Structure formats: C-alpha cells, structure tokens
Amino acid sequence: MTVQRVEFTSLEEATPEDYAVLRPHLAEEAKKVPGHIMDLLKSQRGDPGALQVDMYTHGLLTGNYAVDDGADEETVVVALLHDAAHDLSRQHHGAAMAEILRPFISPTWISVLQHHAVFQGYYSWHHMGLDRNMRDKYRHEPWYDHPVRLASWDQKAFNPHYQARPLEYFMPMLESFFANPKRA
C-alpha cells in the first residue's frame, strides 16, 4: 500500500491540498494516544529504588484505592495515571500529566494534577523541613477536596502486600475513557 504524502518541506509551503492529505493521518495518530499513555505507565515497571514498589505498581495501587473508595471513572483514571510522568519530570510530573491528559479530563482534574505535589506533601514534607500545610492556600478553591482525596490514596500506595487489581482490570475503563476526548 502506497502512502500519499504531503508536498511541503516547510510549513510555510503547505497548501490546503497538503492538509487534505494530512488530516486522516492526524486522526489516526489521535487514536494511538491512549496506547502511548499506557506505554508511559508501563515504562515505570522495574527497579523501585529505595521504595518498596516501583512507580508502575504505585499507580496501580492508587487506582485500586480509588476503586475501593467508590470513585467515578474520571477519578480512577487520574488516580491510576497521576504519577505516570514521574520518571520524565520528578519536580513537575503532576503538571506534565495534566497537560498529557488535558483533552480527556475536566478542568477540575487538570487543576488537581497541576497542584498534586503540594497536596501529597501534606504526608511527607514535614519530614524534610517543609511546610506540610502548604495545601491550605488552596482551601477556598472549588476543587480542593479532590486532591485531598487523591493524596489520601497516593500516600498509602507503596504497600507491596496489598492485593491490587492488575492493569487488565482497568483496560475497559481506560479504553472507554480515552475514546471520548472532552476537548481538542
């Protein structure tokens, strides 16, 4: 099968005809995004370093705690994937995931992920000489309770003895969730 290609070699040379060729390819690329996100999560399997579980297992555990707590689909997906960009950007992994998931999640969950570290810090920052109550500056935000809830699951998701549901359990939910972007 021969793939039709655009004629341009720089964007300023592109024509409407080039974009007619390009549009179906862009639509096919968009369909691959959920698989790429799952690959990002799966790439965290392996050495847990000083932790008792690797970051892949940590994500699964967080997603499991969300399911156990009766969370809705969007909340479970965010819980499962909240740290998937951890290996790419430790300091800004929440914000990185907010941008990756932006087409699929609500503005509330975008805000939650952008401020994820501050809320998780409630459980650990005081051990490092930092203010564990830094999250209080967001107390009046309408989304405040969401990251508090996520952090409650996140902070206990390092237990290697918890019998977590495998990623396969989440796949139908993930496929459904990623099939319907909320925005472009």
Q: What is the mean pLDDT of residues 51-71?
A: 96
Which percentage of the chain shows pLDDT scores above 90? Answer: 68
Check if CATH label 3.40.50.10140 holds for domain 38-178.
no
Residue 50 is encoded by which pair of tokens? 């000083």
Report pLDDT for 184: 61
For residues 66 and 74, give the distance between their C-alpha atoms in angstroms, rounded to a whole number. Answer: 10
The backbone torsions φ and ψ at residue 104, rounded to the nearest 5 degrees and listed phi first, read -110, -20
- Domain coordinates of the chain in residue numbers? 38-178
Report pLDDT for 32: 83
pLDDT in tens, 124-167: 999 999 999 999 999 999 999 999 999 999 999 999 999 999 99
> Residues 1-17, buried b or exposed e (16+ Cβ, 10 A)?
eeeeeeeeeeeeeeeee
CB atoms closer than 10 angstroms to residue 44:
19
Is-contact 78 101, C-beta < 8 A? yes
Which has the closest alpha carbon to 76: 57, 65, 60, 63?
63
Which has the closest alpha carbon to 58: 136, 119, 147, 120?
120
Residue 15 is encoded by which pair of tokens? 């024509």
Which has the closest alpha carbon to 77: 27, 38, 31?
38
Is-contact 93 86, C-beta < 8 A? yes
Report pLDDT for 35: 85
pLDDT in tens, 93-130: 999 999 999 999 999 999 999 999 999 999 999 999 99
- Mean pLDDT in the chain? 91
Predicted TM-score of the model (pTM): 0.88
